[in-house]
C-alpha cells in the first residue's frame, strides 16, 4: 500500500511508455540465461537436505543446515565485493577498457583471498569450541562439518570474483551458467554414494567437490583471458597467515577441547542463587573502602 501512494508522483519523472516500440522478447532470452544459475543453485541446496533426510535421517539434515547457515554468515562478507564491482567492471567493458577490467579483477581477487583464507582457517581452528558455544551441546557433531566445509569459503570467494565480477559483466553468461550447472550435476552424482557411506559428512564432501568443479571450470574458461600469476600471487602469504590461526589452538588443547563446556559440574551449576550475595559483598566492600578507589582514580588522571 505504501508503494502505491508513490505512483502519482512518477508522472513528473517517468514518461508514458510507447508500447509499439517495446521489444520484450529481445530481453527475455538474456533474462532466462541469468535465471538458470539461480535455479540450479537453489535446486542443489534444497536437494542436499532432502537427500540427507531420505538417505540418512532428519537429525543429519539439521546438522547440515546449521553448519551451512554459519558458513553463509561468513560468505556474506567474502562475496560483498561482487555487488560493488559488477557494475564498475561492466561499465569499463562497455567502454572497451579491458586492461582496467583486468586490473580491477586482480585487486578484487586479492582482497577476497585476503578475507576468505584467514576466515576459512579460523573457522576450522575454532570449530570444536564454536559449534558448542554457538549452537549448544546438542550440536557438537557440527564441529567436524565446519572443518570440512571451511574450504568452501575460499572456493566460493574465488568463483564469485571470476563469475559475478568477470564472466557476467563481459557477456560470458554461457560459461557462467555451465559452471553452476556443472556444480549442481556433480553435487547430485556424489551425494548418493557419499551420503550412504559417510552420512552427513559425505554430503559436506560432495558440496566441497562440487565447488571445486565450479571454480576449476571458471579458471579453465578464463585461462587465455587472464594471467593466473597476478590472481594468486598473495595466496601463499594468506595461507601462511591462516595457518597461524590454527596451530596455536592445537598447542593449547585445554582451550581447544569443547568438553570443558560439557562437564556436568559446569552445565548443572546455577549461578542465579549466588548473584544477590555477590552483589551485596561487592557493595559492602565499596562502602567500607570509599577512599581507596578515589585515590587510585586520582593517580590515573594525568596532570
What are the structural domain ranges in the chain? 54-255
Torsion of CA 274, 276, 277, 282, to 10 degrees: 120
Element housing 218 (H / E): helix 200-221
Residue 141: phi and psi, rounded to 5, are -70, -10
Cα distance between residue 204 and residue 48, in whole Å: 9
Element housing 148 (H / E): helix 142-149
Averaged pLDDT of the chain: 77
Cα distance between residue 275 and residue 68, in whole Å: 38
pLDDT at 218: 92
Cα distance between residue 235 and residue 200, in whole Å: 30
Number of H helices, E strands in the chain: 14, 0
Q: Taking the CA atoms of the chain, what radius of gyration do you get in angstroms?
A: 27
**Model confidence, pTM:** 0.73
Degrees to nearest 5, angle at CA 112 with 106 and 117: 125
First to last CA, the chain: 62
What's the rounded mean pLDDT across residues 86-110?
87
Task: Identify the residue with better confidence: 212 or 295.
Answer: 212
pLDDT at 74: 86
Out of 97-111, 165-179, 248-262, 288-302, least confident range: 288-302
Query: How far lies 90's CA from each of 101, 220, 251, in Å?
Result: 8, 22, 48
Cα distance between residue 214 and residue 162, in whole Å: 10
Cα distance between residue 129 and residue 255, in whole Å: 8
Cα distance between residue 80 and residue 48, in whole Å: 25
Task: Please write the tens of the pLDDT for every residue from 245-289.
Answer: 666 665 555 444 444 444 444 444 444 454 455 445 545 555 455
pLDDT at 214: 92
Cα distance between residue 205 and residue 3, in whole Å: 45
Residues in the chain: 303
214: nearest Cα among 159, 160, 157: 159
Q: What residues contact residue 56 under an 8 Å CB cut-off, 6+ apart?
A: 195, 199, 200
What's the rounded mean pLDDT across residues 82-97?
86
Task: Please write the tens of the pLDDT for every residue from 112-151.
Answer: 888 888 888 888 887 777 777 777 777 777 888 888 888 9
User: What percent of the chain lies above the pLDDT cut of 70?
Assistant: 80
CA atoms within 13 A on the CB side of 140: 8
Amino acid at each position: 500500500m505504501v508503494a502505491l501512494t508513490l505512483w502519482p508522483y512518477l508522472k513528473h519523472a517517468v514518461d508514458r511508455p510507447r508500447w509499439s516500440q517495446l521489444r520484450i522478447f529481445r530481453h527475455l532470452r538474456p533474462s532466462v540465461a541469468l535465471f538458470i544459475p539461480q535455479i540450479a543453485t537453489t535446486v542443489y541446496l534444497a536437494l542436499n537436505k532432502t537427500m540427507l533426510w531420505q538417505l540418512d535421517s532428519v537429525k543429519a539434515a539439521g546438522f547440515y543446515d546449521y553448519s551451512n547457515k554459519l558458513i553463509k554468515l561468513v560468505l556474506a562478507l567474502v562475496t560483498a565485493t561482487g555487488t560493488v564491482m559488477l557494475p564498475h567492471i561492466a561499465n569499463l567493458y562497455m567502454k572497451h577498457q579491458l586492461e582496467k577490467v583486468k586490473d580491477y579483477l586482480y585487486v578484487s581477487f586479492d582482497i577476497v583471498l585476503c578475507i576468505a583464507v584467514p576466515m576459512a582457517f579460523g573457522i576450522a581452528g575454532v570449530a570444536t569450541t564454536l559449534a558448542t558455544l554457538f549452537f549448544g551441546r546438542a550440536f557438537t557433531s557440527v564441529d567436524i562439518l565446519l572443518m570440512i566445509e571451511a574450504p568452501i569459503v575460499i572456493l566460493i570467494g574465488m568463483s564469485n570474483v571470476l563469475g559475478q565480477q568477470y564472466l557476467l559483466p563481459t557477456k560470458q553468461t554461457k560459461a557462467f551458467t555451465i559452471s553452476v550447472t556443472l556444480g549442481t550435476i556433480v553435487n547430485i552424482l556424489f551425494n548418493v554414494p557419499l551420503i550412504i557411506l559417510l552420512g552427513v559428512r559425505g554430503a559436506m564432501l560432495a558440496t566441497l567437490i562440487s565447488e571445486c568443479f565450479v571454480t576449476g571450470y571458471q579458471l579453465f574458461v578464463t585461462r587465455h583471458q587472464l594471467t593466473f600469476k597476478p590472481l594468486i600471487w598473495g595466496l601463499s602469504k594468506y595461507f601462511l597467515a591462516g595457518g597461524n590461526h590454527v596451530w596455536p589452538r592445537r598447542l593449547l588443547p585445554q582451550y581447544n577441547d569443547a568438553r570443558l563446556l560439557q562437564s556436568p559440574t559446569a552445565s548443572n551449576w546455577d549461578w542465579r542463587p549466588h548473584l544477590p550475595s555477590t552483589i551485596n559483598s561487592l557493595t559492602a566492600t565499596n562502602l567500607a573502602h570509599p577512599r581507596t578507589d578515589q585515590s587510585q582514580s586520582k593517580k590515573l588522571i594525568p596532570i
